[in-house]
Amino acid sequence: MTPDLVIDVQGLNKHFGNKHVVRDFTLKVKRGEIFGFLGPNGSGKTTSIRMLCGLLTPDSGSGTCLGYDVIRETAAIKREAGYMTQRFSLWEDLTIRENLDFVARMYGMPDRWQAVSRSIGELGLDARQNQLAGSLSGGWKQRLSLAACLLHNPKLLLLDEPTAGVDPKARRDFWEQIHALAASGISVLVSTHYMDEAERCHRLAYIAYGRLLSSGTVDEVISQQRLVTWMVSGQDLHLLEKQLRGLPGVGQVAPFGSTLHVTGIDATALDAAIAPFKADPLYLWQRTNATLEDVFIHLMDNVADNFQ
């Protein structure tokens, strides 16, 4: 393992029955970085994360997480990684403090009271520490889950869609905490569906139906696809959207606020397709840079669902 890599895996595969859920998965994550994991539902993100943290054994492939072999040394990985599941997985009939104390006991921590108190303070849970977890809002449950992940001072956090279903302020607060943790040296792998969250990551990867399709910084991922994008504003954009869809050279048409983004991979073919509409004075056309969302949709439209 290269010293500055916290995750270094090659060719991981996982089947469930006759479904090839993760296919030849290769990933490198540097120490202290926030690495974003994007992809549609059912794309293999959760399975990949569980293989990295030792909860699932790959059918084939090799590599290390935190310097430990992902097949032979899973117990060591679990001791030094924190995994936050997609759904709230703590006990709703226990208080915040009771939940954290229970998790500390499972880790066999000798200084449970001090560790729990420290975690409660760091995550701003003091005033609610005696509140039942089942009565918490989504944002506070998320904060409790993160506190539980951090109890044993992990070197790596694996976060599976941690902000799903929470309000924008809670999402922003959460990401401020994540960046503070990364600044302290903790590495973070986080899966998300939110483009604004993906843009907060140092680097990211896009996985669809078991395949890793693209990785790099946000700018690198966008430039790799070489999309040509036009932004159009004007009247009755819904009608224009229907007219443009399916034309040769038009890869996608997507509403963005009060505009449409019209995207393709062949500039000449796209220009020919939109030329008649550019002549219409009802519409204003401007060349623009492709966004991460444009890339997300483009990649999703151009890969086959392995469950079909």
Pairing of strands 81-84, 156-160: parallel
Q: What pLDDT score was predicted for residue 2?
A: 61
Residue 253 neighbours by CB under 8 Å, 6+ apart: 241, 244, 245, 260, 261, 262, 263
pLDDT over 80 (residue 306): no
Helix (H) or strand (E) holding 295, with range, is helix 292-301
> Exposure pattern of 88-127 as b/e (b: 16+ CB <10 Å)?
bebeeeebbbbbbbebbeeeebeebeebbeebbeebebee
Q: CA-CA distance, 252 to 260, in Å (whole number)?
A: 10
Q: 3-class DSSP state for residue 189?
A: strand
78: which residues sit within 8 A by CB, 6+ positions away? 53, 54, 55
| DSSP calls for 57-72 | --SEEEEEETTEETTT
Which one-letter amino acid corresponds to residue 294?
D
* Token representation of residue 207: 């996985």
Torsion of CA 104, 109, 114, 116, to 10 degrees: -10
Mean pLDDT of the chain, nearest integer: 90
Return d(Cα 161, Cα 87) in angstroms, integer. Answer: 9
**Hey, what domains does the chain have and what are their CATH numbers?**
5-222 (3.40.50.300), 228-289 (3.30.70.330)
Confidence band of 305 (pLDDT split at 50, 70, 90): low
pLDDT tens, position by position, 140-198: 998 899 999 999 889 999 998 888 777 788 888 889 989 999 999 999 999 988 888 89
| pLDDT beyond 90 at 77 | yes
CA 243 to chain CA centroid, nearest Å? 34
CA dist 86 to 217, 282, 305, Å? 24, 45, 22
Number of H helices, E strands in the chain: 11, 14
Q: In what order do the strands lie in the sheet with 187-191?
A: 81-84, 156-160, 187-191, 34-38, 203-208, 211-216
